[in-house]
Every structure is written in structure tokens, then in C-alpha cells.
A and B are shown apart, each in its own frame.
Chain A
Amino acid sequence: MTANVSRRTALALAPAMLAASSVRAAEPPKDPPVFRIGALLGLTDKGNWNATVMQRGIMMAVDEINAAGGIAGIKVEAAIEDHQGVPRVGVDALQRLRARYDIQAVLLSYSTVGLAAAPICEENKIFMLDGGSVTDGLVGKFSYLFHNRSVASVMARAAMTVAKKNGYKKMAQMASSTDDGQSLLRAAEADWKAYGGTIVGTETGLPTASNIDTQMAKLRTAGGDFLAIWEFSPGPGLVLKRAREFGMTQQAIGIEFTAEILKVAGAHAEGYVFATDYFNPEAADPWPQRFAADYRKKYGDNPEVYAANYYEGIYIIAEAIKRARAGGGNYFTGERLKQALDASPVVPSVYGGNMTFQPDGTGLKRVGIFKVVDGKAVFQNFAEVSR
């Protein structure tokens, strides 16, 4: 609440801050030798596929910006550290970034790592951008934290639009016991109950659990018109596989589909429906088209939400740097980057058009509904979710 107020206050004071920056403009900008942007990724975690594509997105953006002459002629560098999916390791990695580089901006990933790292960044006024985790636990609590991925309250409600559209009444759900999974669970339950639906079964499991037979047996007995899966890669793969093996034939609805999920689920992924930030490589906007084409050329793969978000993340920070630099003085600080986005929260998005950061730090994006057909995600429609 405090952070909300402080961000709103900051927005209210934006004109004054702009005026202040115009005063500051009299002072020439103190350029650093390089713009070093930190990133905490789960490179050696079990779900490292996400980190791999995040890293690709980051490096593509850095290479593009530098090839175009950098920012005001100054090169951009990415300092990527591995958090292994472990909060303690993430905190150590963040402290290394601070000690070595006095890092001023960092890209976060994974809710548990974000929850551990964000207070340290907040205290040290480090600008944070999270394009991976969806937990509501990180929303509105840290004034230096921005999100360019739709968060749990949006994703869960987007997934629920499928259930409502299909006229389902009874939900059975399987959730990861992580903060992300529980955030989705809470958001979905609230939305489903408000709709008048009933919840016939709720089971949870650790993200590393390999034995979910009991959960699946209980959910099968509970019935349900559909099975909601509030898990992240590769978790939904095992849920889909075991659900089908246990004879559960109802529609499965989730919020993520990756190559890892497909590897585990195999043919059982067929028909799975999921909601996710909608990245359309064929969009009319030239930026998504160019990004998708370059990504395919470089990695032989289609970019998806994680690659797009971390690619976009570097550009958002670059945009904040440009705006802060216009104010002159010692501008490459977390505080000045945050002020730049607070003052003008609209930034270009690789998803097409612009993205506007809300007072709680979340960026508004369109959420799409996809269905797995022949092992590929096929776009169905946009989810109409009120904010």
C-alpha cells in the first residue's frame, strides 16, 4: 500500500520532476564508460529452458543496440548471473553484481528469487524489471520494480475466460506450491467463485515433484468440467501426461506451454489450452516482425513470451536511460531510471505499439488464448480481461 501511494505520489509529482529535470539539464550528462545492465537468470535450474531463451533475448537486444551505435554512443553490456532457481543463490548473485559493477538496473526472473532480491534492490535504489514471474507478491510492493509480463491476477482470469466461454461450471485444479502457483490459484478461485462456478478439487505439488499420482487420482475422482493447471515449465507436462494416463479426458487449461512441457507430455499435450502474453511475429508493426525474423535466423526457433520479454526489457531500460540522460547530471542511477518511467510510463513494445506501466508497476499487454494442435501453439482469440 505504501509503495502504491509512493508511486502515485511520484506520478502526481511528475510535472514537478520534469521541471526539476529541466533545471538539471543545465548540468551536462555524466556519461559512464558503459551502460551495464544486470540480469538474474536460472541458467542451471531444472527449468533452464526459460533462462536460455531469456538470455538469447537479452543478447539480441544488446547486440542490436550496440550495432546501432549504443546509447548516445555508449555501449551497452549485459552482466548475466545464474541464480539456479534458488533465492539464496540469487541474492549472492545480486550482491556480486553490486560489488563488481555497482549495478543500477537489473532484470529479474523467478518469483522466489525476485521476492528475495527485490528488497535489496529497493533499499539500494536499483531499477528492476521482471519479465518472467507472475506472482502477485511482487506487485505494488516495490517502487523500483516494473513488470513487462502479465501477472497472476491477469493470467488466471484470462485462462478462466476459456472455461466461461465453454460453459463449464465445475473446476478441478492442480497448482505448484511456489509463490507463482499459489498466486494463480488465489486469483483463479476468486474469479471463478465470483462467476458462480464451483471448485470440486484443489491439489498442489512441489515444482520438482516427480510423483503426482495421488493428486491426479484425487482430481479424477473429484470430477470437474475442466482441469486448471497453475504450474510452470516443465510442470504442466507431467500433469497433462499423468491426467491422461489416469483417464481424465476433460479440457486442460493452463498459462504456459514450452518445448520442455511438450517433451514431457508428448502426445498428451494435444488439445491443451493456455493463456499467455500474446506475441505475434506476423503483427503489422515492423518491430515484432523484425525481431521474430532475426531471432529465427539466429537461433532457428520461433521467439516466444520469455525471449520477447527479456529482449523488450533491455530496450525498456535503454529507453529509460535515454530519457534520464536528457535530464543531465549523474543520470545512470536506478533512481533516475525509475523517475524517467514514472514521469512518462509509455514505452514502445516488441509486442506491437506501446506499453503503458500502471501505478503498481505492471505493464498492460494483450493476453492471447492458444490451443496445442499437432504439438504447436495455435492462436485462438484474445482474452477480454478487465484490469
Chain B
Amino acid sequence: MELFAQLLVNGLGNGSYYALLGLGFGLIFGTTRIVHFAYGPVFAFSAFAVWMAGKFLGLPLWIAVLFGPAAASVGGAAVYWLAYRPFEQRGMSSHSVLILSLGLTIVLESALTLGFGPSIHTFPDFAAPIFILGPVFVTGLQLAETVTLLVLAVALTRFLQHTRYGKGILALGDDRDMARIVGIDTDRISLVVFALGSAISAVAGVFTLLNEGATPTMGFYPVFVAFVVAVVGGLGSIPGAIAGGYMVGLVESLGLWQIPTEWQNSIAFVLLFVVLMLRPQGLFVGMKR
């Protein structure tokens, strides 16, 4: 029972982290239909931005972490404007954009490796507080991930429902052509979506930096998890991304309760397979935002 309780807490903590990843990825994918695999290196770039702000500018950690979302939103917007948008304007197929996205991922990871070297960058002096709740250990980062997710989900929902840009994003996600016909600047909205989605990914990137350090390839696995979370939850759905994140986190954690942990990296994709078989539109489609 003690193990179950600990795995449950771990699953919820990791679920919050995965939901953050899925929220940003789902926002971009659900709105623009671009499978943005370069989300991974942008996520990594945000962690390095925080590391540089702390190490080179000597900023206190609570200020340095603000550089993550800022750098990611600039990086994400630049990727859209300089790479994806020219392809879209030429009317290239979604397959071409997908290949571009994969190529871009390799190029950006290599650029990060050249810039920062392949080794781990950490804040060695940072130590998250540990809370002991009976037989269960909870880290301060796990709590922070959960609280941050809830705050961001509420803020994003309000942004989408009550602002001009938010409504534009919803319209674009529903029907791109119709949005253009009614006069919405779809290029500008896409730019905002990439900036916003990348900024959300940066929050997860900062947690990764504080938890285990940053490397140029740190975004490789998270981008796949983000994809799984977004598809399982239902593309473009905020409740879907949150539910998808927690589902992957809990299945990954509790699923390994009785089976060998060698299956850890496969279990999320088994979940994806099952959901795609049973409910290909995702669990929360029709309940958008």
C-alpha cells in the first residue's frame, strides 16, 4: 500500500509535467495542424536560457526562470515565421511540413550542442524541499508542477475565451479557411500560437532543468510524450491535455507497479495505441476549452 501511495503521488507529479508539455504542443498542433517536433529543441533552448541567466547574468533563480518562457516564445515564433510559414505559403503538403519539422529538430539540437556542448548543465546549489506525508515523499518540484499547471490552464482558458487573439485562435482551430474568410489574420494568429505554446513548454523545461539538468537532447523524449498527451486527450482541448497528461503519468507510474520497469518508455505509446484504436478523435474531443 505504501508503494501504491508513492507511485500514485509520482504519477500525479509526472502527470502535471506531462500535461504542461501536452498543453503547449496541443495548442500549436490543434490550432495550426503542424506536427511541431521542433518543440523539443525549443523546450531545451528555454532551459539553457534560464541556465545562462542564472550563471552568466548572475540573476537569482526566481528571476532567471522568467527567461525560459521568454526565450521559448521568441524561439517558437521564429521557427514558425522562418521555417513553417514559407512552406505553408507555397502550399506544401502536411507531409512536407512534417519532414521539415523533423529536419529542423536535428538542426536545432545540433546548434544547441555546438553552442552549449553536449554535457549536463545544472544549478548544483538548487535543492527542492521534500515533504513527508506519512509513508509518502513529495518533492517541492512535484507540487510546483501541479500548481503551475492549474494556474496556466485557468489563465489560458480565460485568454482563449475573453480576448481577441484567444477567439482568433479558437476560430483558426475550428476552420482555418473560414477564419481567413471572415478576416482573421491567420499568419499573425499562428505566430501568437507558436509563441504561447512554446512559452508553456518552457515551464516544463525549467522544471527539467531544476530536476535533472539541461542537455541539448533533453527535448527528444518530451516531444513524443507531448504528442501522446495531446492526441490521447483530444487535439486543442485544454481539459483533454490535462486529462491526457495525468492519464499518461498515472499509467506510466501505476502500470509499472507489478510489471518490470523496462517497459517504462513503451507504456505511453501502448496507451496511445489503445486510445487510437478505441477513440481516434481523443478522449475529450467536443469538449474543447
A109 to chain B, nearest CB (A): 15
Q: Find out whether the CB atom of B120 lies under 8 angstroms from the CB atom of A214.
A: no
Q: Mark out the residues of chain A between 238 and 254 whose CB falls within 8 Å of any chain B CB in the assembled complex.
A: 238, 241, 245-247
- State which of A45, A214, A220 has its C-beta within 8 Å of the C-beta of B261: A214
CB distance from B51 to the nearest CB of A (A): 12
A-B contact pairs, 15 of them (CB 8 A): A46-B215, A49-B119, A204-B260, A205-B264, A208-B217, A209-B265, A210-B212, A211-B14, A211-B264, A213-B10, A214-B10, A217-B3, A221-B3, A234-B120, A245-B137
Q: Is A215 an interface residue (CB 8 A)?
A: yes
A46 touching B118, Cβ below 8 Å: yes
Bitwise, A211-237 to B at CB < 8 A (1) or not (0) is 101110110110000000000001000
Shortest distance from the beta carbon of B16 to any chain A beta carbon, whole Å = 13
Q: Is A48 an interface residue (CB 8 A)?
A: yes
- Which residues of B (177-209) have their CB < 8 Å from a CB of A? 208
CB distance from A277 to the nearest CB of B (A): 22
Determine which residue in B10, B125, B212, B252 has the highest number of CB atoms from chain A within 10 A of its CB, and name it: B212
Chain A residues closer than 8 Å to B6, beta-carbon distance = 217, 220-221, 246
A44-B118, A205-B264, A260-B120 as given contacts; A214 in contact with B127, CB under 8 Å: no
Whether A210 pairs with B208 at a CB distance below 8 angstroms is: yes
Q: Does A263 contact B (CB under 8 A)?
A: yes
A95 located at the interface, meaning its Cβ lies under 8 Å from any Cβ of chain B in the complex: no
- Chain A residues contacting B260 (CB-CB under 8 Å) are 204
Question: Measuring CB to CB, which residues of chain B are less than 8 angstroms from any residue of chain A?
Answer: 2-3, 6-7, 10, 13-14, 113, 117-120, 122, 124-128, 130, 132, 137, 139, 208, 211-213, 215, 217-218, 220-221, 252-253, 256, 260-262, 264-265
A245 to B137, CA, bound (A): 8
Chain A residues contacting B264 (CB-CB under 8 Å) are 205, 209, 211, 214-215
Indicate if the CB atoms of A205 and B122 lie closer than 8 Å.
no
Known: A234-B120, A245-B130. A214 touches B256 (CB 8 A): yes
Q: Is B118 a contact of A218 with CB atoms below 8 Å?
A: no
Interface flag for A267 (CB, 8 Å)? yes
Is there a chain B Cβ closer than 8 Å to A266's Cβ? yes
Would you give the shortest CB distance from A92 to chain B, in whole angstroms? 16
| B265 contact from A206, A217, A234, Cβ within 8 A | A206
Q: Closest CB of chain A to B254's CB: distance in Å?
A: 9
Having A46-B217, A48-B118, one finds 14 other A-B pairs with CB under 8 Å, namely: A48-B117, A177-B262, A203-B261, A208-B220, A210-B212, A210-B218, A214-B10, A214-B252, A217-B3, A218-B256, A218-B261, A245-B128, A245-B139, A246-B137
Residue of B nearest to A213 (CB): B10
Is there contact, CB below 8 Å, between B120 and A264? yes
Nearest Cβ on chain A to B115's Cβ, whole angstroms: 12
Selected from B119, B212, B253, the residue in CB contact (under 8 A) with A48 is B119
Contacts of B120 in A (CB 8 A): 46, 234, 260, 263-264
Chain A positions within 8 Å of B125 at CB level: 266
Q: Complex formed: what's the CA distance from A236 to B29 in Å? A: 37
Given contacts A46-B217, A204-B262, A246-B137, contact A213 B253 (CB under 8 A): yes
Residues of B within 8 A of A260 (CB): 119-120
Q: Which residue of B lies closest to A211 (CB)?
A: B14
Q: Residues of B contacting A209 with CB < 8 Å?
A: 264-265
Beyond A46-B120, A245-B130, A260-B119, is A214–B7 a contact (Cβ under 8 Å)?
yes
Complex Cα gap A210–B253 (Å) = 14
The smallest beta-carbon distance between B21 and chain A, in angstroms, is: 12
Chain B residues with CB below 8 A from A217, complex form: 3, 6-7, 10
CB contact under 8 A between A263 and B122, given known A214-B264, A247-B132? yes
Using CB atoms, name the residue of chain B closest to A214: B256
Task: List, in ascending order, chain A residues with CB within 8 A of B119's CB.
Answer: 46-49, 260
Complex: A330 Cα to B120 Cα, angstroms: 46
Q: Which B residue sits closest to A217, measured CB to CB?
A: B6
Q: Is the CB of B213 within 8 A of A263?
A: yes
Interface string of A141-177 (1 = CB under 8 A from B): 0000000000000000000000000000000000001
Q: How far is the CA of A205 from the CA of B221 in the complex (A)?
A: 14
A266 contact set on B, CB distance < 8 A: 122, 124-127
Q: How far is the CB of A300 from chain B (nearest CB, A)?
A: 17
Q: Which of A44, A213, A241, A246 has the most CB of B within 10 A?
A: A213
Q: How far is the CB of B54 from chain A (nearest CB, A)?
A: 14
Chain B: minimal CB distance from A150 (Å): 25
By a CB distance below 8 angstroms, the chain A residues around B124 are 262-263, 266
Q: Using CB atoms, name the residue of chain B closest to A261.
A: B120
Q: A264's contact among B130, B213, B218, by CB below 8 Å, is which?
A: B213
